[in-house]
A and B are shown apart, each in its own frame.
Chain A
Amino acid sequence: MKFGVVVFPGSNCDRDMAWVTQGLLGQTTRMVWHEESDISDIDVMVVPGGFSYGDYLRCGAIARFSPVMKATIDHANRGKPVLGVCNGFQVLTEVGLLPGALMRNRDLHFICDRASLKVENNSSIWTREYQSGQVITVPIAHGEGCYYAEPDVIQQLEDQGQVLFRYCNPQGDANQGSNPNGSLNNIAGIRNQQGNVPRHDAPPRARRRRSHWGHRWFGGV
């Protein structure tokens, strides 16, 4: 399986991502510059963390119009997997591959910490090696990680099992006290609607967890 890791001007977790896909998972990985439009050799596209195009205007807003993102949308629409982590999640909402938007953290602080996440759905390719309900710990590092969507969109995500991860406490309780950034329903990772079998699920933001990934694929803020 061949991974492609997008590199925007301002990406800063692209090498971390390649370290995971190539170094830990042992898969062929190609760094894909943002001006490239031919990604037909790639099986899994990954949009990594960072500050694409300086995050000017809104996080991920300008990255949306890059040639590589047009190719990535096409890749996703053909049913191939796309993963967005951190800034990559923001980009995927901006391009419309995932619903909602990421906003400033509730308490306005940049958060660099470890967070407990509950695996809500292990039927996706990104979470299938977890148990449903399992609590995992991931490092988080973001300033704009507050997931927002209209109530009917949130309801749809919940009803259709599109929520993959939820912020929780170490005991697995998801409440306001275990919500680091104000994300609605404590949502930390989602997939798109077609994600019932290996599809272009695209959860959010895992970074700085490279030594613990093993064979597990996931996104967590």
Chain B
Amino acid sequence: MAHRYQAQIYVTLRPSVLDPAGTAVESGLKHMGYDNVAGVRIGKYVELTLEAEDEAAAKTQVDRVCDELLANPVIENYRFELK
């Protein structure tokens, strides 16, 4: 019997890729007085639901969806949680 899962997916820029938007936000935070803030990186959050036989099957499918569309492996990494 199929179960319904929710995937919470985080797509982030690979560490080697510069993030000018993150740098701009970091600069803004410093201007606001948050001098102790560093390393701002901006990513994407995607959530979706899917039906699958079990958690392993759901993970396999979410991996495929991320590899094929949600993340570009040239510049991005992803991770996700299933609920």
| Interface size, A (range) | 20 to 34
Whether B58 sits at the interface, judged by CB under 8 Å, is no
Residues in chain A near residue B48, CB distance under 8 A: none
Residues in chain B near residue A57, CB distance under 8 A: 44, 69-70
Q: Which residue of B lies closest to A61 (CB)?
A: B69
Whether B77 sits at the interface, judged by CB under 8 Å, is no
Interface size on B, residues (CB 8 A): 12
Question: Main SS of chain A's interface residues?
Answer: loop
CA gap between A99 and B70 in the complex, in Å: 18
Inter-subunit contact A148/B17 (CB<8 Å): yes
Minimal beta-carbon separation of B73 from chain A (angstroms): 9
Minimal beta-carbon separation of B40 from chain A (angstroms): 14
Whether A108 sits at the interface, judged by CB under 8 Å, is yes
Inter-subunit contact B72/A58 (CB<8 Å): yes
Residue-by-residue, is A159-172 near B (CB-CB < 8 Å gives 1, otherwise 0)?
Answer: 00000000000000
Pick the contact of B20 from A58, A64, A100, A108 — CB < 8 Å? A108
Q: Which residue of A lies closest to B23 (CB)?
A: A108
Inter-subunit contact B70/A104 (CB<8 Å): no
11 CB-based A-B contacts, threshold 8 Å: A57-B69, A57-B70, A58-B72, A61-B69, A65-B69, A99-B74, A101-B72, A101-B74, A104-B21, A108-B20, A108-B24
Spell out B's residues near A (CB within 8 Å): 16-18, 20-21, 24, 44, 69-70, 72, 74-75
Spell out A's residues near B (CB within 8 Å): 57-58, 61-62, 64-65, 93-94, 99-101, 103-108, 148-150, 182
